[in-house]
RNA sequence: GGCGCCGUACCCAAGUGGUAAGGGAGCAGUCUGCAAAACUGCGAUGCAGCGGUUCGAACCCGCUCGGCGCCUCCA
């Protein structure tokens, strides 16, 4: 039974979907005016995992994640670069899909854009005006927070408190400083849509209310996003949606914590952010391996708390993953005996149960990963005693299946996993000799066939106790980033 | 000023009333021609500090110290 920390109630609530076995969830995506950083990656990954886990536990999930493609920052960016807003948004939506794809984040079921929902936005604004919850000033329409009694219930704030500290620019036309724009009249040169209040564009919050109703209905199960969206964005969404429909909006509000750098929030204003593509570009590892490292790192802390990003953290994630992939490599080898696999069932069952208990406990991914580590340890011991081919297959499948809800272990990386950095430039060696090439020379990756041949030669030499030659071949391959592991039966396995 | 979060070993990180998971790093050992991997063992008598509640607290309460977030665009 899944429990989720619900910002609305301030505690963990047992998750029960409105319709059994069906989940409707909406997550606030990004404003597409720039490349995404790790903070965006964490948020996307957290809700991707929530969706995967709900599916793993037998739910049909309708997952809506929007793109905000009308916004001041987009207009500004387009202006700076002398291109259209569409050019900016198209570029960064594409970049979003590229970056998140590399991270193994699946696309949402529906990814609506604000600009494609103008009719709904205008209609909703009209409804709020009709109901007296909004008012018009010149070409602008504002939501009247004092007319909505529940205002502040999500963020646990009182209007009076907000007034006291808010450094809001005083806009004389607003009835209350916290009133927010539903519709903004457009200045010349800005994107504009026709409306009953004149040409303009929607405020930030209204799009999510309009798009969620359109795609999920007035009341749905889960609404998510980053911590920083609790106020004012989600508070305002609730006011708009509940105000208009008179019904409950989203039942469970889930918010992820921030990625930090040296204990400080990663943000553009502090200039301490790393974009996802920057990390992939700078990585010593292939794209697939880097994606896996990042996922493991981002899931190594429970989603609700802060997470500190560092090179060391990434290295630790890599080392931990090496252990799994070492095991996967061995599991792919043929089994040693046909004896009943003693204790295998119990290990798998235990892992499955602890994994689910961890995930049910508010998506406790670090504890879930610990369960996987437990199975890794058990499997290594079982292999030591000789595990049948079928048993190996079953363990591998279990990792595949549980890993799927975390987005881990998915690609068949058994042979693509990199244990060693590719040697570039220094210490390159030619077959059979020890010629060092100059710095900056890129070593051509060795073909599998060549590696196999050399290993056969080496093992022949070892049989003849010619360890000098054996070690030479090991060195030669090592210079190309190939690690040889000798097995007790005189044969060897290798990895890159 | 208002609201809120956090402080667990060298590092990361679970645990939220019953006597400290897991990973990384390290050390020692087994195996091995060597190496790697794997396995085994070692590692916080204590969970920022001080009080209190309790048979019993890292977990509950109070205070103190330290770090951070939101209240303004923000995942």
Q: Is the CB of A302 under 7 A from strand B?
A: yes
List pLDDT tens digits, range A83-125: 999 999 999 999 999 999 999 999 999 999 999 999 999 999 9
Assigned domain for A277 exists: no
Instruction: Give residue A446's pLDDT band: very low, low, confident or very high (50, 70, 90).
Output: confident
Residue A223 in domain: yes
A376 contact partners, CB below 8 Å, separation of at least 6: A323, A324, A327
Range of the domain at A428: 420-496
DSSP H or E segment with residue A240:
helix A235-245
Nucleotide B22: closest residue by CA–C1': A370
B strand bases under 7 Å from protein CB: 1-6, 11-15, 21-25, 31-40, 67-75
Q: What angle do CA A485, A488, A494 make, to 5 degrees?
A: 20
User: CA A18, CA A14: separation in Å to the nearest integer?
Assistant: 12
User: Residue A44 and residue A61: Cα distance in Å, rounded?
Assistant: 16
pLDDT digits (tens, 9 = 90+) for A329-353: 999 998 876 677 888 999 999 999 9
Same domain, A470 and A345: no
Q: Is residue A272 part of a domain?
A: no
A85 lies in a domain? yes
The domain that holds A248 is classified in CATH as 3.40.50.620
Say if residue A435 is in the same domain as residue A378: no
The confidence band for A371, taking pLDDT boundaries of 50, 70 and 90, is: very high
Closest nt to A488 (CA→C1')?
A: B32
A380 touches strand B (CB under 7 A): yes
A153 Cβ within 7 A of any nucleic strand B atom: no
Residue A328 domain-assigned? yes
Considering the domain architecture, whether residues A341 and A314 belong to the same structural domain is answered as yes
| Structural domain ending residue among the three candidates A261, A293, A320 | A261
For the segment 79-118 of chain A, residues whose CB is within 7 A of strand B: none
3-state secondary structure of A215: helix
Position A241 in a domain: yes
The question of ipTM being above 0.90 is answered as yes
A385 CB closer than 7 A to any strand B atom: no
* C-beta of residue A25 within 8 angstroms of C-beta of residue A225: no
Relative to beta strand A264-265, strand A250-256 is unpaired
- Residue at a domain's end among A346, A379, A404: A404
Calpha distance A170→A295 (Å, rounded)? 44
Are A400 and A449 members of one domain?
no
Pick out the nucleotide with least CA–C1' distance to A258. B75
CA distance A348 to A399: 9
Using an 8 Å Cβ cutoff, are A224 and A44 in contact? no
Proximity of residue A459 CB to strand B below 7 A: no
| A254 and A339 inside one domain | no
A461 strand B contact, CB < 7 Å: no
CA A161 to C1' B2 (Å) is 5
Exposed/middle/buried for residue A124 (C-beta within 10 Å: 0-12, 13-18, 19+): buried
Q: Would you state the structure tokens that stand for residue A96, as one six-digit string?
A: 């979003």
Residues A245 and A386 in one domain: no
Q: Is the Cβ atom of A321 within 7 Å of strand B at any atom? A: no
In terms of DSSP bridges, do strands A220-226 and A492-495 run parallel, antiparallel, or are they unpaired?
A: unpaired
Among A380, A404, A428, the domain-final residue is A404
Domain shared by A57 and A197, yes or no: yes
Q: How far is the CA of A223 from the C1' of B28 (A)?
A: 52
Number of domains in chain A: 3
A151 and A185 together in one domain: yes
pLDDT in tens, A134-174: 999 989 999 999 999 889 989 888 888 776 555 555 677 88
Report the nearest residue to nucleotide B31, CA vs C1'.
Answer: A488
CATH number, position A338? 1.10.730.10
Cα(A170)–Cα(A147) distance, rounded to whole angstroms?
20
- Same-domain check for residues A89 and A186: yes
| A425 and A394 inside one domain | no
Is the preceding omega at residue A290 within 30 degrees of 0, hence cis?
A: no
Question: Could you tell me which of A409, A407, A426, A425 has the C-alpha nearest to residue A417?
Answer: A409
- For residues A90 and A77, what is the distance between their CA atoms, to the nearest angstrom? 13
- The reply to whether the CB atom of residue A331 sits less than 7 A from any atom in nucleic acid chain B is no
CB-based contacts of A259, cutoff 8 Å, min separation 6: A37, A38, A39, A41, A42, A266, A306, A307, A308, A309
Q: Give the sign of the dihedral formed by CA A216, CA A217, CA A222, CA A227.
A: positive
Q: Which of A212, A222, A225, A270 is nearest to A42 (CA)?
A: A225
| Domain assignment of residue A68, yes or no | yes
Give the pairing of strands A307-308 and A250-256: unpaired
Domain contains A107:
yes
- Is the model's pLDDT at A78 over the cut of 90? yes
Asked if A153 and A241 sit in the same domain, the reply is yes
Q: In which band, very low, low, confident or very high, does the pLDDT at A437 lie, cut at 50, 70 and 90?
A: very low
Give, in degrees to the nearest 5, the angle at Cα A260 between A258 and A265.
Answer: 75
Q: What are phi and psi of A206, to 5 degrees?
A: -65, -30
Contact at 8 Å (CB) between A424 and A479? no
Among all chains, which residue has been given the structure tokens 């100059």? A438
Distance A362 CA to B18 C1' (A): 24
Which residues in window 8-37 of A are less than 7 A from strand B by Cβ?
28-31, 37
DSSP, collapsed to helix, strand or coil, labels residue A155 as coil
Per cent of chain A over pLDDT 70 is: 92
Report how far residue A347's alpha carbon sits from residue A375's, in angstroms, rounded to the nearest whole number.
Answer: 6
Query: Measured CA to C1', what is the nucleotide nearest A161?
Result: B2
- DSSP string covering A355-413, please? HHHHHHBT--HHHHHHHHHHHHHHHHHHHHH---HHHHHHHHHHHHHHHHTTT-S-S--
In angstroms, how far is B12 C1' from A296 CA? 12
Residues A15 and A57 placed together within one structural domain of the fold: yes
Whether A385 has a pLDDT exceeding 90, the answer reads: no
């Amino acid at each position: 039974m899944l429990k989720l920390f619900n910002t609305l109630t301030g505690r963990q609530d047992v998750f029960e979907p409105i319709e059994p076995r069906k989940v409707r969830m909406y997550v606030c995506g990004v404003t597409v005016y720039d490349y995404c950083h790790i903070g965006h990656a964490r948020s996307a990954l957290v809700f991707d995992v929530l969706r995967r886990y709900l599916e793993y536990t037998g739910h049909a999930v309708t997952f809506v994640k929007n793109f905000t493609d009308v916004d001041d920052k987009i207009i500004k960016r387009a202006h700076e670069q002398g291109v259209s807003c569409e050019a900016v948004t198209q570029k960064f939506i594409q970049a979003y899909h590229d970056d998140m794809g590399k991270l193994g984040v699946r696309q949402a079921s529906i990814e609506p854009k604000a600009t494609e929902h103008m009719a709904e936005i205008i209609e909703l604004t009209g409804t709020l005006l009709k109901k007296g919850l909004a008012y018009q000033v010149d070409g602008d329409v504002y939501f009247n927070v004092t007319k909505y009694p529940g205002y502040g219930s999500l963020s646990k704030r009182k209007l009076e408190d907000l007034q006291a500290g808010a450094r809001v620019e005083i806009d004389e036309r607003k009835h209350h400083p916290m009133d927010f724009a539903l519709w903004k009249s457009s200045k010349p040169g800005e994107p504009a849509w026709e409306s009953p209040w004149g040409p303009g564009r929607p405020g930030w919050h209204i799009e999510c209310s309009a798009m969620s109703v359109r795609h999920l209905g007035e009341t749905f199960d889960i609404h998510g996003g980053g911590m920083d969206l609790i106020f004012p964005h989600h508070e305002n969404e609730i006011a708009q949606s509940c105000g208009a429909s008179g019904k409950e909006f989203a039942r469970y509000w889930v918010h992820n914590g921030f990625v930090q750098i040296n204990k400080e929030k990663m943000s553009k204003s502090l200039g301490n952010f790393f974009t996802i593509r920057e990390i992939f570009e700078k990585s010593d590892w292939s794209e697939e391996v880097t994606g896996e490292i990042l996922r493991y790192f981002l899931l190594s802390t429970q989603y609700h708390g802060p997470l500190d990003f560092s090179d060391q953290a990434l290295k630790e994630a890599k080392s931990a993953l090496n252990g799994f992939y070492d095991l996967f490599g061995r599991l792919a080898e043929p089994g040693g005996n046909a004896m009943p696999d003693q204790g295998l069932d119990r290990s798998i069952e235990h892992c499955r149960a602890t994994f689910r208990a961890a995930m049910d406990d508010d998506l406790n991914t670090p504890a879930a990963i610990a369960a996987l580590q437990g199975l890794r340890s058990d499997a290594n011991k079982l292999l030591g005693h000789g595990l049948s081919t079928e048993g190996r297959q079953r363990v591998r499948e279990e990792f595949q299946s549980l890993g799927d809800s975390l987005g881990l272990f998915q690609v068949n990386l058994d042979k693509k996993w990199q244990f060693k950095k590719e040697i570039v430039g220094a210490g390159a060696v030619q077959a059979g000799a020890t010629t060092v090439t100059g710095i900056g020379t890129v070593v051509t990756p060795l073909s599998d066939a060549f590696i196999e041949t050399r290993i056969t030669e080496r093992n022949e030499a070892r049989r003849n106790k010619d360890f000098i030659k054996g070690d030479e071949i090991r060195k030669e391959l090592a210079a190309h980033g190939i690690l040889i592991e000798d097995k007790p039966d005189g044969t060897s396995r290798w990895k890159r």
